Structure 1
């Protein structure tokens, strides 16, 4: 039997700690370089970054800058921009990655599966007709064909430039 070792996943699997605003990765990311934080685009109220523990190649997260946990606590401006960034993420992923569909959603609360429940974030997961195989089911492993840095560079390069307020 062959094994595909993915030791970087152990950090996610073993760590049940739920960060607060003092150690929140989504609060810290905007203060780092885009390359280091895997940020592909920055808006006025929210930004887009690659998931460090992706379900699929190109798995993006749309996060507000402000630290809050529940979608119903978002301001109207945050809600609009999260939606707009999600739409752009889909368009760019189709262009760059030729994906066939998406899983989009938010896990609200730790019990619902949120890895970082304290900071709202929306998942944008590209899907392909042939992306499911036996690995996730039998081996509990996902094989990703590109490095995160390469994916970030391609998506960031294809992201449209914001012309600013009309």
Structure 2
């Protein structure tokens, strides 16, 4: 069994994300991203609305993986205001359209994990994952090597998605 897959280029990729948004400080990860003084390109923010925003996933399942979240920390769908809920789902629709425009995928996954037991990595701030999919895009690398192979850097994903979002 293969235990390690060396990908030294990933260290720069991961360190840039950590340098942009402090691990310390008040609020959830998403609140810290919103409060960051870094540019949207540096934080991966693709769109800002009145009550919600869209951001690239810093540890994507594949290129083009983004998340839509409310601006405030809300752990459960029932805790969203009507305005937040309306904007969240409208933004998810816009995210899927941007993904389709930028990547022309064969399909799109849309989902959220509520609570730690539900698989949420940030259980105190719900977020909807949106990612492009193609037949055969899951392969032995994830299954056997427990690694993902991403064909483009985050900066390129951000540019493609931001341009597609703005062109809508």
Give 2:149's match in structure 1, choosing from 126, 137, 143. 143
Give 2:29's match in structure 1, choosing from 19, 25, 31. 25
Question: Does residue 1:57 correspond to 2:63, yes or no?
Answer: yes
Q: How far apart are 1:94 and its partner, in Å?
A: 0.8
When normalised by structure 2's length, the TM-score is 0.83
Asked if 1 retains the 8 angstrom alpha-carbon contact of 2:109 and 2:131, the reply is yes
The within-5 A match list for 1:14-163 is: 22-32=26-36, 33-160=39-166
CA 78–21 in structure 1, closer or farther in 2 if over 3 Å, else same? farther
Asked if 2 retains the 8 angstrom alpha-carbon contact of 1:20 and 1:118, the reply is no
Asked if 1 retains the 8 angstrom alpha-carbon contact of 2:63 and 2:152, the reply is yes
- The CA RMSD measured in Å over matched residues stands at 2.6
Asked if 2 retains the 8 angstrom alpha-carbon contact of 1:4 and 1:141, the reply is no
Q: How far apart are 1:126 and its partner, in Å?
A: 1.2
Asked if 1 retains the 8 angstrom alpha-carbon contact of 2:41 and 2:158, the reply is yes
Q: How far apart are 1:3 and its partner, in Å?
A: 2.8
Q: How far apart are 1:160 and its partner, in Å?
A: 3.2
Distance 2:167 2:83 in 1: 19
Q: How many residues align?
A: 155
Distance 1:114 1:74 in 2: 17
Give 1:3's match in structure 2, choosing from 2, 5, 17. 5
Asked if 1 retains the 8 angstrom alpha-carbon contact of 2:14 and 2:58, the reply is no
Give the structure with the higher percent helix: 2
Uncovered stretches (5+) of structure 2, i.e. residues with no partner? 16-22
Uncovered stretches (5+) of structure 1, i.e. residues with no partner? 12-18
